[in-house]
Structure 1
Amino acid sequence: MKFSLTWLKDHLETEASLQEIVDALNAIGLEVEGVEDPAERLAGFRVAEVLTAEKHPDADKLQVLTVDTGEGDPLQVVCGAPNARAGMKGVLGLPGAVVPANGMELRKSAIRGVESNGMMCSVRELELGDEHDGIIELPEDAPVGHSFADYQGSSPVIDVAITPNRPDCMGIYGIARDLAAAGLGTLKPIAFPEFTAEGSCPVEIRTDDPAGCPAFYGRVITGVKNGPSPDWLQQRLKSAGQRPISLLVDLTNYLMLAYGRPAHAYDLARLHGAVVARRAKPGEQVLALNEKTYTLDETMTVIADEKEVHDIAGIMGGENSGVQDDTTDVLLEIAYFDPPTIGVTGRKLGLASDARTRFERGVDPEFLADGLDLLTGLIVELAGGTASEAVHAGAPPSEAKVLQFDAGQTTRLGGVEVPPEEQRRILENLDFAVSDPGSSPGQAWQVTCPPRRHDIEGTADLVEEVVRIHGLDTVESVALPRAEGVARPTASPEQVTERKLRRAAAASGLDEAVTWSFLPEAEAAHFTATDDLWTLANPISEDMKVMRPSLLPGLLVAAKRNADRGAAGTRLFELGRRYFRGQDGMSDERATLGIVLAGEKTARGWASGKATHFDAFDAKALALSLLETAGAPADKLMVMGEAGEQFHPGQSATLRLGPKKVLARFGMLHPATLKAFDLDGPVAAVELFLDAIPAKKGAAGFARATFAPPALQAVTRDFAFVVPADLPAGELLRAVRGADKSNIVDARIFDQFTGGSLPEGTKSLALEVTLQPQDKSYKDADLKAISDAVVAAAAKQGAELRG
């Protein structure tokens, strides 16, 4: 929420500096996201007077002005504005000044052969509005030579992040109240302009939906004169990021921004009969002020007359009844809407507005009548007109919450010593009513909460109020008490595994990435069937609509971003969760490690010449290494196909424990996948499904067997087999390792040969088999028996011993 320092001081009597105010806001939990001083953007712009204006000798639409800047000799300026003339006062940008609208630095220059020493500026060029028909015309009493920023009264703009639990601070008056309670000044009482109500309201106002709209207040003002707002009002709205529209609309926005009270003004001439808050009829439509038509249902509250719907209650008014420049009679509406109803309606329609933000969080139910009178007084004072008596249809929730509060809890829960009398002062300054605790020490106070504080649910919330106003920076950092002795492990086996994997992945040369758990629907659908997507009912944005079914889309987007910024090679990993819709309708979260290898593996050099790229074997090596780190039996894994349509079918595979238990998939991504993510290939990827890795046995995975080195030396034997050309080497290795598990401890392939005297369609694989004797050395008969077992096991895979 943005507001100017000037606007804040309309409600807070204070001598504090800007920095003191910013520090106080942060200290009381209202985080300041930034401070912008318009005076800095307007440095170099001065109030100047045009002394002479003559036609440019070489341009029909340009004039040569002589301008008095209040210092030294007049300057010559070339200007193309049609309203530039001798005797007027305007704003001159001197050489060196930067134009806010386009960032252009002004310099001395020759325009069509005539020297120009600056620029006379328009409203749009200084970002003070949209007008650009001519240069700014200042009043005759504008002081020549003065800084335009000082003359205009530019005020620093403070941007505060208001958390959802503090709707009472979504108006500047609420922020001023908190600062006053923190001792930074005195809260000014609300100034109500005087007006006289004459006659009863000519329009029937009622609420037929007490659940959705418990209270609907309104009155008619006739004979108003709409038009531009005064400068003070426009400046305040602009500081909040609002565009001034017209006096009547601006005053309703002013009430909302200053006091957190949304309101609406209808053009009475465009209404027909009674104005009613009711439930919408199924299929009923309304053309909103954003020029979009919305179809409503029976769960939504609307404001309607006898002819049509005019307002999506608490969210946005209708185009057909909005006030115009020629509006003379208005109906004011100030209501209290049920927060959950407003939230559900807004999500269904996908419609956000400032009013919705406030209503769905909860506005002050006590500020209806006063808000209506304040808005009425401002309209009568600035736009004229005659106000009718107010109509109060229904009543807002009025039951105040009462809590029993022990001042000692502030020390126990908040960790800071605050004297009881100071605690009482803070609560009372925040409009909490505190009863007299009596003479008994330790007796609890009875604290009555103001109805606008919807966030106060228990005594812990009162402690928070005391501590934050006392100053969050006064709370000392204190370590939690630690029991004597050796601490027990607190991390679960899953957490231990994830920590090991992070270290191992980083040690392998990968950079960790943290991407969003949300994806655009198109990217998510590329990695799973659309029907299986976990779609959010209330997404942050359309690009974050679906929970990710894979970690690869986020990593591919990150790789694309790196490539666009000139990165030759990208090695990324992420450890996170995939999300699916479970059979019970609940979210099914699965721990996963994703890896993307894109771009160059090694840069070009004198030895290799060309740069090399990642291939499927790089992905496989990483997958096996990390699975082993995670505790998977890497030597028992089967390499099988069907990695998924996102992968290249001839350059990808899965790692499985048995035909159905998939622990990982790896390989080169399919060209269609690269095209979908606008990536230039080749790109390798890995996904490790940590939830599929079998848990370790014993002591929840924390214990490990004691290592005892063998007493006898290992023996190696080499075998060469002729096998079918399409036989995966891993299948032969697995068969050989299982030939005699008590003696064979390892086997590896060290050579592959094709052609020569080998039959067509075959290849030769050479293996080194490691044998480990246990309690006695091998004899020739033992070695022959083991060799026979190896040959027999290989024969089952179609292998034949060479030579």
Structure 2
Amino acid sequence: MKFTLSWLKEHLETDASLADIVETLTRIGLEVEGVENPAEKLAPFVVAEVLTAERHPQADKLQVLTVNTGSGEPVQVVCGAPNARAGLKGVFGGPGAYVPGSDLTLKVAAIRGVESRGMMCSVRELELGEEHDGIIELPADAPVGAGFAEWRGLDDPVIDVAITPNRQDCMGVHGIARDLAAAGLGTLKPVEAKAIAGSFPCPIEIRTDDPEGCPAFYGRVIRGVKNGPSPEWLQQRLKAVGQRPISGLVDMTNYIMLSYGRPLHVYDLAKLKGPIVARKAKDGETMLALNGKTYRLDSSMTVIADDAGVHDIGGIMGGEDTGATDDTTDVVIECAYFDPEGIARTGQQLALTSDARTRFERGVDPAFLDAGLELATRMALDLVGGEASDVVRAGSPPTEQRVVEYRPEHCGELGGLDVPQERQKDILLGLGFTFEHGDPWEIDVPSWRRDVIGSADIVEEIIRIEGIDRVPSTPLPRVPGVARPTATPEQLVERRVRRAAAARGLNEAVTWSFVSEAEAEPFGGSACILDNPISEELKAMRPSLLPGLLAAARRNLDRGQTSVRLFEVGRRYLGNREHPTVGVVLAGERAPRHWSRGKAEPFTAYDAKAEALALLAAAGAPVDNLQALDGAAAVYHPGRSARLCLGPKTALAEFGELHPATLKAFDLDGPIVAAEIYLDAIPQRRGGSGRMRPAYAPPPLQAVKRDFAFLVPSETKADALLRAIRGADKATITDVSLFDVFTGQGVPDGQKSLAVEVVLQPGDKSFSHEELEAISGRIVAAAEKAGARLRD
């Protein structure tokens, strides 16, 4: 909501400075987002007079001007404006002046061989409008040498205030002035809306056939108008707050809307056929709106129509067909009340926003219809002339009085600030509330405060005007002693995983919990599709963390990153449940090219496995008991992926290289590897959630290492052999690892050689030769039972 300081002072009698006004607005809950004074950027520009205008010797379309700037000797200016001539008074900017509309700083320059020491400016160059056909022409009595902004009356700061959705009463300058008056910054000026008697009966029927969507529809005709540009003061005021002046009638409606928060609309009477009616639209009806777009309507929407069709999406935007033009002579002024919820639904369905919608969907003052229509009538008669008809009032607005019971002590109990009763009364009266004394007070809520429904709302009004900064800081009670931990076991696990991932060189990403349906499709689709998404690209609850991570990886790769290592701790959504998950994506180069190894190395499935195992260990999973099994999701390459399971059914993670089809769906080039760890599948520790580590006891004796080579069928997985060996003697075997895989000479066809290293840890005494032989025998026996035989 923007307004100028002079505009505010038309509604507020005050001597307060701009700084005091800005500070008070923010203090009472109307946060000031910015203050801009147009005069500041136009300070270098002055009123100047063209003394002579001669043709440029080197260019037919340029002139060489001699300009009197009022500061000494005349200056020479090269100008290409067709209206530049001797005797014209305009706006001059000298060397060093910044021209906002052209984004340039003036300097002495030679134009086609002739020196130019500044420029005569157009309206668009000073950002005062869109006209650029020539330079600005000022009246003959404009004082040469005077500051242009000051002379033109542009020294009027524009205040931009953020209005929260509950403060519909502050969507007009008058409502903001009321709040400032209640805060002690002046006196609110009353609304001057004297009734204007009609001089003839209204010649058109006005009615409402939709009492729910449009409970009240008031209007009157003004005939004999002469529509045209609005006066300079009105255009200047509208431009200052970002509105485009159009004509006297249209500018009048915008001015009243911004002044009082009361939207209006004007129809050309000659373009209407039959009565003008507020009704529900018919399914399939269309309307060409003032923004040049055609909208298809349905029966849930309130419209204004005549016998020919729809001319207005009620409370949102008027139609192109019946708008007032310079040829308009008779008009209908509409002042209606529309249901806020209906306006919000219609605007959302049509994806159509407007200043009127912003106010109607918050709720305009239902008791301001007569005053709004009278203000519009008076201003229209002053601007475009004519005579007014009688007023037609169809329906009745919802103006039922609301009474809230309130006790003054609630202010201290709910707001934490004890305000004297007399001060509370003054604040409420200043905001427009009236009440009867008693126990409790019976407070009548003004019609413009739709948001006040209970005692707590009254407390809020008193506290914000008195000053939220005056509420004392009161520490919350706490139990004496050491504070108890508040993090849940699940949160502690996520913290450990997050720290472990970062320590391993992964970068944390935080992506949307929503993805597009196309992104969810490779992962089996989403079981939860939003009815009211913020966009079509964020419509499905993610079934996996990988879609968001892959999109992030693509953005990083597109920007030249050669190695992308991302992880995320979040939730995936399956059915009606959410599952805590860790996602990892590795893309690009595992190691850059180097003279010692040649070309760059890409990530492999083993890199994803290493990350999955490390993060599972950080989460407290029994990684020594995990099996790598087939059956990873279809998003992975079937021959380069696996599941990490506790037994055949409990999968704690999946990892591997992503399938080419998955990469294609995300517009990525491979290879790219990924992993997902299912934190909710990790079994809980018995006896509580703490991570109890056994006391470290270094072995008293050195470990013994033995190497074995076994022949196994080619399809045998190394993990099966390692698990069999590990179980051969659990008391002494502390580690088993694969260090070589060989096929070729000396190995039969259809088989492979697996070389493993077994670490044996003695207890209280060293192994004897016989004990080592016995352990070796048990290892070979276990391997043979798993389908392997010792290689010769």
Q: TM-score, normalised by structure 1?
A: 0.89
- Distance apart, 1:484 and its partner CA: 2.7
- Check whether the contact 1:536–1:547 (CA below 8 A) recurs between aligned residues: no
- Check whether the contact 1:195–1:380 (CA below 8 A) recurs between aligned residues: no
Which residue of the other structure, out of 457, 470, 474, is the alignment partner of 1:478?
A: 474
Aligned to 1:104: 104
Which residue of the other structure, out of 618, 639, 646, is the alignment partner of 1:629?
A: 618
- Check whether the contact 2:228–2:247 (CA below 8 A) recurs between aligned residues: yes
425 and 650 in structure 1: CA distance in 2 versus 1, 3 angstrom threshold: farther
- Check whether the contact 2:526–2:543 (CA below 8 A) recurs between aligned residues: no
Aligned to 2:510: 514
67 and 506 in structure 1: CA distance in 2 versus 1, 3 angstrom threshold: same
Q: Tell me the amino acid that sits aligned with residue 574 of structure 1.
A: E
CA RMSD of aligned residues (A): 3.3
- Distance apart, 1:566 and its partner CA: 5.6
CA–CA separation in structure 2 for the residues paired with 1:498 and 1:535: 27
256 and 781 in structure 1: CA distance in 2 versus 1, 3 angstrom threshold: farther
- Check whether the contact 1:710–1:774 (CA below 8 A) recurs between aligned residues: no
**Deviation string for 1:146-181 (max 9, x for gaps)?**
333333333333332222222222222222222222
CA–CA separation in structure 1 for the residues paired with 2:334 and 2:401: 25
Give secondary structure in 1 for the equivalent of 2:53: strand
- Distance apart, 1:55 and its partner CA: 0.9
Q: Tell me the amino acid that sits aligned with residue 133 of structure 1.
A: D
Give secondary structure in 2 for the equivalent of 1:534: coil
CA–CA separation in structure 2 for the residues paired with 1:637 and 1:707: 24
CA–CA separation in structure 2 for the residues paired with 1:675 and 1:425: 69
**Deviation string for 1:212-258 (max 9, x for gaps)?**
21111111111222222223322332333222222222222222222
CA–CA separation in structure 1 for the residues paired with 2:693 and 2:493: 18
Moved more, 88-97 or 731-740: 731-740
- Check whether the contact 2:526–2:541 (CA below 8 A) recurs between aligned residues: no
- Check whether the contact 1:26–1:32 (CA below 8 A) recurs between aligned residues: yes
Which residue of the other structure, out of 708, 721, 725, is the alignment partner of 1:719?
A: 708
Aligned to 1:235: 236
423 and 295 in structure 1: CA distance in 2 versus 1, 3 angstrom threshold: same
Aligned to 1:15: 15
Give secondary structure in 1 for the equivalent of 2:492: helix
Q: Tell me the amino acid that sits aligned with residue 510 of structure 2.
A: V
**Deviation string for 1:354-381 (max 9, x for gaps)?**
2222222222212211111112211111
Which residue of the other structure, out of 678, 687, 712, is the alignment partner of 1:689?
A: 678
CA–CA separation in structure 2 for the residues paired with 1:32 and 1:730: 67
Does residue 44 of structure 1 match 2:44? yes
Does residue 534 of structure 1 match 2:529? yes
Give secondary structure in 2 for the equivalent of 1:101: coil
Q: Tell me the amino acid that sits aligned with residue 131 of structure 1.
A: E
Aligned to 1:618: 607
Moved more, 354-363 or 704-713: 704-713
Does residue 337 of structure 1 match 2:338? yes
- Distance apart, 1:634 and its partner CA: 2.5
CA–CA separation in structure 2 for the residues paired with 1:659 and 1:149: 81
86 and 395 in structure 1: CA distance in 2 versus 1, 3 angstrom threshold: same
- Distance apart, 1:311 and its partner CA: 1.7
Give secondary structure in 2 for the equivalent of 1:368: helix
CA–CA separation in structure 1 for the residues paired with 2:726 and 2:18: 76
Q: TM-score, normalised by structure 2?
A: 0.90
Give secondary structure in 2 for the equivalent of 1:327: coil
Does residue 221 of structure 1 match 2:212? no
Which residue of the other structure, out of 469, 486, 493, is the alignment partner of 2:489?
A: 493
Runs of 4+ in 1 over 6 A off after TM superposition: 772-785
**Deviation string for 1:56-99 (max 9, x for gaps)?**
11111111111222212222111111111111122223222233
**Deviation string for 1:576-630 (max 9, x for gaps)?**
33346x46xxxx4333333344455556667667665544333332222122222
**Deviation string for 1:627-677 (max 9, x for gaps)?**
222233323334345655555555544434455544334444556655665
- Check whether the contact 2:525–2:543 (CA below 8 A) recurs between aligned residues: no
Give secondary structure in 2 for the equivalent of 1:66: strand
Aligned to 1:25: 25
Give secondary structure in 2 for the equivalent of 1:110: strand
Q: Tell me the amino acid that sits aligned with residue 399 of structure 2.
A: S
- Distance apart, 1:308 and its partner CA: 1.0
- Distance apart, 1:565 and its partner CA: 5.6
- Check whether the contact 1:244–1:250 (CA below 8 A) recurs between aligned residues: yes
Alignment length (residue pairs): 790
Aligned to 2:71: 71
- Distance apart, 1:26 and its partner CA: 2.1
**Deviation string for 1:384-405 (max 9, x for gaps)?**
1211122221112222332222
Moved more, 729-738 or 309-318: 729-738
Does residue 406 of structure 1 match 2:407? yes
- Check whether the contact 1:718–1:768 (CA below 8 A) recurs between aligned residues: yes
CA–CA separation in structure 2 for the residues paired with 1:95 and 1:680: 56
- Check whether the contact 1:536–1:546 (CA below 8 A) recurs between aligned residues: no
Q: Tell me the amino acid that sits aligned with residue 94 of structure 2.
A: L
Does residue 448 of structure 1 match 2:452? no
- Distance apart, 1:538 and its partner CA: 5.1
Moved more, 634-643 or 196-205: 634-643
User: Which one has a bigger Cα radius of gyration?
Assistant: 2
Give secondary structure in 1 for the equivalent of 2:361: helix
Aligned to 1:321: 322
**Deviation string for 1:529-578 (max 9, x for gaps)?**
56746234252x55544444444444444445555666554443333333
Give secondary structure in 2 for the equivalent of 1:238: helix
- Check whether the contact 1:651–1:667 (CA below 8 A) recurs between aligned residues: yes
CA–CA separation in structure 2 for the residues paired with 1:12 and 1:654: 72
CA–CA separation in structure 2 for the residues paired with 1:518 and 1:97: 50
Give secondary structure in 1 for the equivalent of 2:571: strand
622 and 311 in structure 1: CA distance in 2 versus 1, 3 angstrom threshold: same
**Deviation string for 1:278-323 (max 9, x for gaps)?**
2222222222223333222222222111221222222222222222
11 and 759 in structure 1: CA distance in 2 versus 1, 3 angstrom threshold: farther
5 Å matches for 1:349-368?
Answer: 349-368=350-369
5 Å matches for 1:162-201?
Answer: 162-192=163-193, 195-201=196-202
Moved more, 68-77 or 685-694: 685-694
CA–CA separation in structure 1 for the residues paired with 2:101 and 2:539: 35
CA–CA separation in structure 2 for the residues paired with 1:752 and 1:290: 73
Q: Tell me the amino acid that sits aligned with residue 314 of structure 2.
A: A
Unmatched 5+ residue regions in structure 1? 438-442
CA–CA separation in structure 1 for the residues paired with 2:93 and 2:536: 43
Aligned to 2:291: 290
125 and 521 in structure 1: CA distance in 2 versus 1, 3 angstrom threshold: farther
Give secondary structure in 1 for the equivalent of 2:124: coil
Aligned to 2:3: 3
Q: Tell me the amino acid that sits aligned with residue 747 of structure 1.
A: V
Aligned to 1:419: 420
Unmatched 5+ residue regions in structure 2? none
399 and 671 in structure 1: CA distance in 2 versus 1, 3 angstrom threshold: same
Aligned to 1:127: 127
Aligned to 1:469: 465
Which residue of the other structure, out of 567, 589, 597, is the alignment partner of 1:573?
A: 567
569 and 271 in structure 1: CA distance in 2 versus 1, 3 angstrom threshold: same
**Deviation string for 1:419-469 (max 9, x for gaps)?**
2222222222111223324xxxxx432222223222223222222222222
73 and 260 in structure 1: CA distance in 2 versus 1, 3 angstrom threshold: same
Give secondary structure in 2 for the equivalent of 1:451: coil
- Distance apart, 1:194 and its partner CA: 7.1
Aligned to 1:440: none
